[in-house]
Chain A
């Protein structure tokens, strides 16, 4: 017995040693960067394009992808040091405005958030039909924001509905099983719900509905200290992202296939998400940076956060335009 226990212990210590060999430099001699993403096309299109087309390797970078459910968790993980670079959607940008993270690359303006209703449950195009309905949402995210705005359209508040605080995955399952009358979620959960339910499910409102109130910008972020200490790395990382953006423009189906492989889903599921945003090329993005379009988008976005952020904070305090421009050289 003692011998068996000793052998098991030795084996486990050996395994621990193997797993514990974490290093910022990979075995291939490339600089290893841990990248946080969310399980959707919008999060992966440029980074996976850059990975598989060899753009990161060209910049001496090896990317290790780690999946997260949401932006705030990604920022929390970056704070703990387990993640170097992360992708965030609209909601988590308020943390950047508040100084918790720096944006080093603009990704896109999205249209992934939506409020979905079920006709068979008495929900109609009119937001007023949501009164008294059971609605699932993820509090503290863009899901809560879009639901609140939709309710406001009909003069309703959260007190007028039966609100269920859930995570995005649970919302998808609950909606698909018919446990909810409506929900507010984001892509790709919204596509999954619409695909699974079919014609009974429909979009009541999405980001386009409220384009006058907010810009649903998605970005690449790092911790401010990381940005200070790794300026060169960030520039090279951004260069690779640009290459990934351009590769997608010419090989969209191929990139969709790569993203589907990373997510472990079929091609069609990812293909359905290609309309979630207007995907830019590097030259379009650089032009938008240079002419101030990107800055104004961040301004509009900042305004949509209301009292949750200090409106006086200049966009240039948390968006590293210099990295975006230097990477374009």
Chain B
């Protein structure tokens, strides 16, 4: 079973790698490959050596035919020992490198830049374990052999402990529950590999090179036959690892599904907007021409000396309609974004000010966790986009809207919360569609949320909604942090 679990993990990582050809997937694939290499080597060794009960044999190998196959595999002890040495040295190395890659606290980022340093102990150990080199070393007697075995054990366990600590540190430094949930799935995958590896980490390749050496076995012991390595331990480790892997893989698959859903929603919305765009443009063009003609006529009436409140009202309505037409036009055309570093505080202040132009009664609070947070953005477009959520939040609750911004790993997280009735799942699924609105108002054409999402996507960001009936709605906008 252990053999199949390890192979399954490798297969899953290879599938992920095929879909996402990024550095992280490559690291995870290397980690699973080195773990598979290590566990396979150990299982070949155990198959050849024997000494396990039939229950343990089933847990490790599954069908007995596999154990027999591995037992009779033609390999010299040098080849088998070095196979185990490779897996044993590479797994903790990839474990710590991958853990660092998952983390964004300052020390992790610093260490990541110098990750080649972590390769030194594994490389030195691998040189020591070249069969000829090791043979010469082993001749020095059991004391030198014990030292040669102890040193790799120190850095191997050190790497595993460090990787676990790094992951926990990152977990506790994440404030947003959304990011925590996402991080836990990654943590579980790494924990699953760490657990599988730790099961046999003490199995020194020396035990394989010196397969039948009496004195060695008696004085230095055999790891897989040491106390505690019985059926219950294997069940616990297999169960723990399996559960962690399932949870990790389901989490990752869910994340992939969200990403794919978002991408397909982008395509769907773009297509919908494209279909509507021609009609909208013609409508805007025609309506605007009529409104401009009305403007000329109103001017003429003013110049001819007509003074009336009705004429003033007509002029005001006409100008408002022209402005709305302009806004509608800008929401359907792809305007170029002029990105430059801007303070997130300034963007939020501007967004609130724009929102108050639409509805002067809006009350909102702005909080930022630390001053000087910057994003690379088109100031006016981003502020305009965020103002739509502020207006919606106020209109939904008629209570103060809370606007918060803080740094979260690689992102600036902006959350805009209201205490309104919440948004149903059905509405959530359509909220980003152009011309979709639940408000029965002459001033709302259902383009605000579509426009907002477009602008955020153009800033390489994303928007999520967390809403509970009767408890309010929170929009979480993630924008890439600017480190300039």
Contact = CB atoms under 8 A, between A and B. Distances in A.
Q: Is the interface of B mostly helix, strand, loop or mixed?
A: helix
Contacts of A68: 49-51
Contact of B74 (A5, A69, A179): A179
Nearest to B231: A19
B222 A170 contact: no
A76 B225 contact: yes
Contacts of A36: 51
A264 B78 CA distance: 30
A317 interface: no
Contact of A75 (B76, B77, B209, B217): B217
Contact of B246 (A5, A83, A95): A5
Contact of A174 (B74, B210, B250): B74
Contacts of A15: 235
A5 B214 contact: no
A92 interface: yes
Contacts of A66: 50-53
B76 A164 contact: yes
A5 B247 contact: yes
Interface string B101-136: 000000000000000000000000000000000000
Nearest to B53: A66
Interface residues of A, number: 51
Given A67-B50, A179-B74, A22 B230 contact: yes
B221 A80 contact: yes
A166 B72 CA distance: 11
Contacts of A1: 247, 250
A19 B51 contact: no
A92 B214 contact: yes
Contact of A72 (B209, B213, B232, B242): B213
A92 B247 CA distance: 47
A275 interface: no
Interface string A63-99: 0101111101111110111110000000110110000
A312 interface: no
A172 B72 CA distance: 7
A165 B239 contact: no
Given A16-B236, A92-B214, A95-B214, A166 B77 contact: yes
25 contacts: A8-B239, A8-B243, A9-B239, A12-B238, A13-B239, A15-B235, A16-B235, A20-B231, A67-B50, A69-B50, A70-B49, A73-B212, A74-B51, A76-B222, A80-B227, A94-B214, A139-B211, A139-B213, A140-B211, A140-B214, A165-B211, A167-B77, A169-B72, A173-B72, A264-B64
Interface of A: 1, 5, 8-9, 12-13, 15-16, 19-20, 22, 36, 39, 64, 66-70, 72-77, 79-83, 91-92, 94-95, 100, 138-141, 164-167, 169-170, 172-174, 177, 179, 264
